[in-house]
Every structure is written in C-alpha cells, then in structure tokens.
Structure 1
Amino acid sequence: MHFDTPYIEFGREQWAGLRDHTPLTLTEQELEKLKGLNEQVSLQEVEDIYLPLTSLINLYVKASQQLHEMASSFLGNDTKKVPYIIGIAGSVAVGKSTTARLLQTLLSRFENHQKVDLITTDGFLYPNRILEQKGIMNKKGFPESYDMKKLIQFISDVKAGRNKVTAPVYSHLAYDILPDEAVEISNPDILIVEGINVLQVSKAHQVFVSDFFDFSLYVDAREEDIERWYIERFLMLQQTAFQNPKSYFHRFTDLSRENAVTMAMQIWKDINAKNLHENILPTKGRAQSILYKGTDHKTERICLRKL
C-alpha cells in the first residue's frame, strides 16, 4: 500500500533557486565567529540553504504578526504580540548549534523581527550533583536528565509574553550548570530553542516543549557521518578546550591519538548512538522541516511539511 509523504522534498539546486533576490548580509568574518568546532559552513552554503530558509521563515513570521493584528482588531483588545518560537533538534555533533546561530543572525536582519534570541536546552539539564544522586550521570542528554518541568515553564512564560524570563546557564567547560548565572529573555520577536530534546514527547507530561513552537527544524545526516564528526570534534577538543585545567575532560589530554579515538568511539556507542536511536531520531517526523546534510557537511536536500 502506498502512503503519501507529509513532506515536500527539495534538492539542493532546487532549494537554492528559491533564494530569489534575497541579499547576503553575512560577511566571511561573521561566519567564522558563528561556526562551531569542526563545522564546515561556507558563504555558498549560507546563500544556497540559509537565505531561502530564513526568507521562508520571515513569511511565516509576517503571517503570524498579521494574524495577531487581525484577531486583536476582531476581538476588540490590544494584547501585545507574543514571540514566534522556532525549535531546532537533531543529534549531538550534527551541527544544530551552528544552524541556530546562523538563523539567529540572518533573521535579526529582517525589519519586522530584529530582536532574535537563542537559548539551548543544555541549561535545563539537572546539575551534576542531582544526576549523581539519581545515578544517571552516564545518561546526560537522555530525557530523564532534563528538568522538563522547568523548561516547559520557561517556554510557556516566554510564549505568554512575560516581560522578563530567565533560563539557567550550562558550561561545557565545567560540564555542569553554573549556579550563579542566568540568561534573561525579554520580549524577543523570535526565540530560537535549540537542543536534542526539543521535539520529544513523554507520557510523564501532558504538555510538551514543541506545543509552543511555531516552526521546527530537524538537522539530519547519515549516522556514520555524525559519528565521524563527533570523533573529529573530540580530537579537536582534546587539543584545545580539554587542555584547560578547569575542563571536566582535562584527564583526556594525555591520551594518545589512538586511545582518544577509541575513547570517543566508546562514548558515541554507549551514550550518543543509543540516545539517537531511542530518543532523538524518532522525533524527526514531528518536525516541520528537515535539513539533510551530506558527508562534507553540505546540505543535500530539504523537506518541508505540507501546509
């Protein structure tokens, strides 16, 4: 039996053709600052993939703003518009953070939504002391390692239009929540929420993070490519961030390259691959758009859910 897909699929060239005359407002220097470690994103990738994507999102945001104005007029009230929320999901090491930062920068250059904020769900991980109490330090990144109640409350407050909402801050250096730090979100036009868990659902909750999304994107690639990118990133971190004595992973700096590769492969197999199969990949079909990356990090195709 044949079932129609709920998505429209675009090849790279076809998608790039949708750019129309959208100007490239990003410089090479800006792009370098936005790229994550081991992320190979070129200005050509920005032109071909991200300009059409942000132009489309701009149309969605405009439509949302216009609907708000018409509804307010019809109902005879003057409620302020609420933030347009975008969720970005995908595996560890697939490039979600770079995608999120690129979208934030490019979307902020449209006149009708210049205030674009970005948070990652890492800040809503339980502190290490609680993970240790629960006996799940080896499951950091799995659904049970997040304070979902706090995350859902945060997004609910933002969507409700509260003037100032704070979120915890996670340090990849300390590998823990920073207890004395917080990031403040104050009435953005757009809020981007990036994390491996943003499209997940759970029987433990009646409300899900994705219930508050106006648009969602899943960044995907072949698993063997993601694993290779993870290992490459681990080796790069071993030579950079891990060298800091304050780094949680400082103990890995003395590993030989061969042993470091073995360690990274083991972490991938025991934690990241398992989380990918059990909790992340099953959420892909819930996304409104899917960005498929090839072996060289370049986007090969994009799928958009039919309206």
Structure 2
Amino acid sequence: MSPDDQPFVAVDRERWARLAAAGDGRAPGAVPPAGAAATEAPADPASWAGDGEVDARERVEVLAPLAALAARRREQDLDGRAGLGALDDALVRGGASARGWVVAVAGGVAAGKSTVARALVAELRARGIGPVEHVSTDGYLHSNAELERRGLTARKGFPESYDVPALRALLQAVRAGDGTLEVPVYSHRLQDREPEPRTIDRPAVLVLEGLRALAGPGPDGDPGVRDLVDLGVYVDATEDAARAWYLDRFHAWRVAAADDPGALLHQIADMPDADADALALRVWAETNAPNVRDHVLPTRAHADVILEKDADHRVARVLVRPV
C-alpha cells in the first residue's frame, strides 16, 4: 500500500465481494433479487444522462458489498442516535427520532458517479430497508439566469455556483425525517434546472451524488455538506481516463441534440466533428479539469470508501477508511 493511501486500507475484490453475503445472507457471488428496485425519480433519457449501466460482475463484486456496508453502518448509526438521544436530544442532529441517513457519492466530472449512485440505490432498495432516493447536487446549481446575474457563467460547477444553503437544508430535513420535500432537478438536455422540482417523502436513505457531495466549507466560510453525510463514497479515476469519458459523453449528447431543437447542444449539431471536439476539450481544459483538481479531488480525503477505476470503467481497487 502506498503512503498516499493513508488513512485508508486496500481491500482486494475477492475479500470485498464477501461483504455482500455477510450483509444479507446471500451466497458469495449471488446476483441480487431481480425487480427489487422501486421506480426511479423522473430523469433525463439515458442519452442525456450520459451514463452506462453497471455490468453484472461489477454489481455483484463492488456495488452489492458497498450496499451491505452502508446497510450495516446505517443500522449501527441509528442505534447510536437512539442511545445518545436517550441522554439528551441535543446530542443528535435532528433529535433522537431522526431516522434519515445520507450516503454521498462524489468524484470528478464524467467519473461515473451517477452510474454508481443509481446502482447503489437499486441495491439498497433490494435490501428492503425503506424508501431510498437519489438526488444530484447538479440540481442545486444556480439557474443559468442567476449565474449570469452573478457573473458566474464561466464558473459553473465551481463551489460558488451552487446553492449550498438549500442543499444543506435538504439534508437536514432528510435526517430529521421531515415530510414531503421539493428537490430541484438539473437537465443535461437543457444544461439548466428544470422548471419544476420533484418531491421526495421521508427517505430512509438518501444517496446524494455529485461534484459537491463531500464538499467542506466554501471559500467564504459557509458550511459545506460533508458534516451532514453519514457515509462518503468517492469514485476515482485518472484525469486522462475521465477526459476520454467526458468526450464520449459529449458525443452522445451531441447525437441526441441533432433532432432536438430544444436541446442546448442543438446549435452545434452541424458543427464539424473536429471543431465540436475542440470546443468540448477547451471546456474540459479551462473549466472541468481545474475545478476537479482544486475543488473536487481534495474531497477524496473525506470519503469512507474510494472506488478506483481503470480506463475501462471497472473498479480496480477499493480503499476503505477503517472505523
């Protein structure tokens, strides 16, 4: 293990895979029950989301064990909240009856956060621990109009472009078990917030996914969100791999926009391929890469589990922070 891995320990895939069976009684390598996932919240079509699916082996050997760990940690945390709350409600964020639990899935642009988050949601739902919802921090980006008003259009995706107080308020409400909550939704098709939010109602587990899912205090000293996260996951990839995946996703979005006049990328659908790729790579070099290096990658240190991916999107190594 490299000194850079501290304070994490590396767990090989065979050993990690055994956690799934320990967590729910399934035989090692058994495929999760089919049809166990509830209906997902409305989202962009797959072509706009730009994410693939986790193959069966990755699901069994990586995501099922992660869900088992999350389920066990949640059980222990809720027991701990009840015990502390019996002494004094003030010792528990949200009070002794707080039952909501938050998993964060962070990582760089195009690293595969959404794919991991959706698969984790399905695995957790299959375990029957209660309603599980997936929320993206992208929804908490200020609208394009608001970014323009604030002079932040070129800083979209950077810490100051998010409505962090609203995101913190959501996590606090989830932890406290508050009723129907409105959640803003980001459209990759529009590259902006959807006009209408969606609603969630008392999730047992909220899987929060995005660049800012493990963010600490902002540049102005405002609180971040990581102190409201119960289990942090970081999806890690080299910059070269992420750039290639970003370009692949851009190609898919551009194809989807060709026959969709309402899509933001429709205006470049007829641009020569070389020019379109040059535009995408300029956005990567000037915006995405610096943002990841300066503001996203540092949040890796606050994760409980790191999934290190190879260039083929498969998880090559799992790093775990010992309890």
Q: With the length of structure 2 as denominator, give the TM-score of the two structures.
A: 0.85
Which residue is equivalent to 2:92? none
2:75 pairs with 1:62 = yes
Alpha-carbon distance, 1:291 to partner: 0.6
Residue from 186, 191, 204 that aligns with 2:201: 186
Shift of 1:203: 4.4
Alignment equivalent of 2:99, drawn from 64, 78, 82:
82
Residue 43 in structure 1 maps to residue 56 in structure 2:
yes
Q: Is 1:169 the counterpart of 2:185 in the alignment?
A: yes
- What CA distance in whole angstroms lies between the structure 1 residues aligned with 2:203 and 2:261? 37
Cα 1:26/1:263, change in 2 over 3 Å: farther
Specify every segment of 5 or more residues in structure 2 that has no aligned partner in the other structure, as ranges.
90-94
Moved more, 237-246 or 272-281: 237-246
Identity among equivalent positions (%) equals 31
- Count of paired positions: 302
Deviation at 1:75, TM superposition (A): 6.0
- Say which is worse superposed, 65-74 or 151-160, in terms of deviation: 65-74
Alignment equivalent of 1:139, drawn from 155, 175, 187: 155
Aligned counterpart, 2:165: 149
| Deviations 1:263-301 (CA, angstroms, capped at 9, x unpaired) | 221111111111111111111111111110001100000
Q: CA deviation at 1:259?
A: 2.1
Distance change (3 Å), C-alpha of 1:148 and 1:290: same
Structure 1: unaligned runs, 5 residues or longer: none
Partner of 1:14: 15
Deviations 1:177-236 (A, max 9, x none): 233x11222211101111101222224245321111110101011110000000111112
The answer on whether the counterparts of 2:52 and 2:115 sit within 8 Å (CA) in structure 1 is yes
* Cα distance between partner residues in 2 of 1:172 and 1:119: 14
Paired with 2:13 and 2:120, the residues of 1 have a C-alpha distance of 18
Choose from 230, 233, 236 the match for 1:217.
233
Q: Secondary structure at the match of 1:88?
A: strand
TM-score normalized by structure 1? 0.89
1:248 to 256, 264, 273: 264
SS of residue matched to 1:245: coil
Letter in 2 for 1:155: L
For 1:293 and 1:178, locate their aligned partners in 2 and report how far apart those are by CA, in whole Å. 31
1:24 to 31, 39, 63: 31
Poorly superposed stretches of 4+, deviation over 6 Å: none
Q: Deviations over 1:88-109 (max 9, x none)?
A: 1111111000111111111011
Counterpart Cα distance in 2 of 1:278 and 1:4 = 19
1:109 paired with 2:116, answer no
More deviation in 153-162 or 291-300?
A: 153-162
